[in-house]
Structure 1
Amino acid sequence: MARPALILASACLVGIGLVVLPALADKPAEVLSGPLATKVSAIPIAFDRDRPERTAFGNLTFRGGLNLFGKSRHFGGYSGIALDPSGTTLLAVSDAGTWMRATLDYDGRKLKALDDVVIGPILGKDGRPLRGDSERDSEGLALASGDPKSGAAFVSFERDHRILRYPFTMKSFGPPDRAVPLPKEAGRMDRNRGIEAIALVRSGRLAGTLVAFSEGLTDKNGNLQGWFLGGSTPGVITVRRLGGFDITDAASLPDGGLVLLERRFRYSEGVKMRIRRIAASELKRGALIEGEVLLEAEDNLNIDNMEAIAVHRAASGETILTLMADDNFSALQRTLIMQFSLPDGPVLAAPGAQ
């Protein structure tokens, strides 16, 4: 098959998995009663399949990635992640109402394996595992305190739209100890396009503010709407919508800014991914925020349904972005994890940004 036809066929398959199958996804019907250790095998991936030696993409440097295969059918659907400061302990939440903790192993700078993998149930207010799709569809994750091994985290859910604060340990995740009140504008969210992205600002004038974005909720001008929840200046924030992309996740940067992970799908072009950096100085209530495009990738590069992003600072001093793909428990999609290093200082918008 000629390469253009192969790309189109691949785009169609990804599109079917991305758009049609999530509603019919084969999420595990049975509920985990407690933590379950499982094995995960990993195949290294290049971001550019045709030129695997290539590392420069947009304004980022690719550090390596893995295609992951879990031995448990509860492994998958990861939409929110967090890392410890060393980048070696990963905590993730799945849209099947489970959490996953793992150790990231490295070969020098490159990801090598996912070890010590444990999956467990997210608990409801009654102390029992979340069950129905309307209550277990967790999408966003932001550490409130501690680290991925023990502490507290904010988790956002769609369908039954809510943000809850969960104390967690190595063996349990919840029950939640409080809910975060949602603004009235959240009532306009579609059932399956709820609060997809949350991040807790950790430094600067907005330290302690939870930032939340719905997937595709727009204002009257078609720009993406989000909120500052809590903190010193709660209220609505607006991000300029570029090229029809939706926000799928966000993470706080050491300087008080944010990175946004975005996705776009069209049957004619397949799936695309974008990463934007929002400077701390741009994060203002009532302002139209645009930020800087760090990377925009089409599916001729090695992407899938990219839904999760986290930030940590490497021992070298580099700021590292870790991305993860949500496979929707579909055979047509993959659970990918990959890392890029972020340049210091301001960068220019990537060519082609609208």
Structure 2
Amino acid sequence: MPADSVETASARHLSSHTWSDRGEWFGGFSAIEVGPDGLTMTILTDRGYLATGRITRKGENIVRADLTSVDRLRTSKGKKLVGRVADSEGLAMSGNGPFYVSYEGVHRVAAHAAPWAKARVLPRPEAFRGLATNGSFEALAIDVSGRLYTMPESNRLPDGRIPVWRWDGRAWSMPISLEQTGGFLPVGADFGPDGRLYVLERDFAQIGFRSRLRRIDLSSGREDELFRTGLGRHDNLEGVSIWRDESGRLRATMISDDNFLSLQRTELVEYLLPD
């Protein structure tokens, strides 16, 4: 199969832009949130850095990305995140409230009032403590009611399904689970302006990655696969943000984790989604 193939798609690929910067911290991007204007973005690395930037487009294509700020997240004691506790993976932004980050290594979800503020770690149920060191909370999303949803990359329920945990402000529960198919593992999630849950997944082979985006209506249980790429179509896509453009069309903007390897690249990728 050609490297530029898309196996299935109701979505349409718009643009892919390779992004680079000289900063030693740059790379390893694990999450992205795009502003309502489609021009501003907040991005997270898997080493505890939170950055903001601006996107430039020409027509439908992303042609440039520029950083506007970089900060290192803090622990609950106010110290800069380093080492095992700094494996930040998922990002959920709540508008006027704090933003939330999910972590691997030490499996947790934390609220941050600002990048430089002390983190407030949410309660950790017993189920979180036995998760895989490098396979837990890659994905994090927040719904319109302010409830958080997260899921592990690799741990599964006895029936093989993907557990989805929800934080309602008081306790964690597991309202739903998702079927795992085709070797794809969840690495990013977001609630769109349409209220549906979007889950970005990847499958790794020795020579590259495949990506898939699916959409779940939590009220009806209906699920749609929006695209599934062939091997090597994109780099290691890990973060996803769903928003509407000025024409009212749904877009998915994604970012890749280059693992700080010269053979990989930081890539911004956009797809136009069906309603």
- Is this a same-fold pair by TM over 0.5? yes
- Which of residues 117, 123, 127 in structure 2 aligns to 1:174? 117
- Render the CA deviation track for 1:210-254: whole Å, top value 9, x for unaligned: 111111111111111121111699521210111121100100012
- 1:250 counterpart = 2:189: yes
Q: Is the 8 A contact 2:125 2:172 kept in 1?
A: no
Secondary structure of the equivalent of 2:26?
coil
Q: Is the 8 A contact 1:77 1:328 kept in 2?
A: yes
Q: Is the 8 A contact 2:187 2:202 kept in 1?
A: yes
- 1:110 counterpart = 2:41: no
- 1:271 counterpart = 2:222: no
Secondary structure of the equivalent of 1:331?
coil
The aligned residue for residue 82 of structure 1 is: 33
- Render the CA deviation track for 1:113-171: whole Å, top value 9, x for unaligned: 11243322112223221122x1111000000233xxxx521001110111110012xxx
Q: How many residues align?
A: 274
CA distance in 2 between counterparts of 1:253 and 1:213 reads 17
Structure 2's unaligned 5+ residue stretches are: none
Q: Which amino acid aligns with 2:69?
A: V
CA distance in 2 between counterparts of 1:243 and 1:116 reads 36
The aligned residue for residue 200 of structure 1 is: 142
Q: Which amino acid aligns with 1:248?
A: V
**Superposition map of 1:210-289 within 5 A:** 210-230=148-168, 235-236=173-174, 237-267=176-206, 270-282=208-220
Q: TM-score, normalised by structure 1?
A: 0.72
- With CA pairs under 8 Å and 6+ residues apart, which has the higher RCO, 1 or 2? 2
**Greater displacement, 80-89 / 113-122:** 113-122
Q: Is the 8 A contact 1:103 1:116 kept in 2?
A: yes
Secondary structure of the equivalent of 1:70?
coil
- 1:135 counterpart = 2:135: no
- Which of residues 336, 345, 348 in structure 1 aligns to 2:267? 336
Q: Which amino acid aligns with 2:98?
A: A
By percentage of residues, which structure has more strand? 2
The aligned residue for residue 32 of structure 1 is: none
Q: Is the 8 A contact 1:255 1:280 kept in 2?
A: no
CA distance in 2 between counterparts of 1:311 and 1:231 reads 24
CA distance in 1 between counterparts of 2:77 and 2:129 reads 25
Instruction: Choose 1 or 2 for highest CA Rg.
Output: 1
Q: Which amino acid aligns with 1:212?
A: T
TM-fit CA distance, 1:312: 1.3
Q: Is the 8 A contact 1:209 1:232 kept in 2?
A: no
TM-fit CA distance, 1:106: 1.2
The aligned residue for residue 296 of structure 1 is: 228
Q: Which amino acid aligns with 2:132?
A: D
CA distance in 1 between counterparts of 2:150 and 2:258 reads 23
The aligned residue for residue 66 of structure 1 is: 17
Provide closer, same or farther for how the CA distance between residues 326 and 300 of structure 1 changes in structure 2, counting only shifts above 3 A.
closer
- Render the CA deviation track for 1:164-208: whole Å, top value 9, x for unaligned: 10012xxx44322x2222333222311111211010011xxxx22
Q: Is the 8 A contact 1:100 1:118 kept in 2?
A: yes
The aligned residue for residue 28 of structure 1 is: none
TM-fit CA distance, 1:57: 6.4
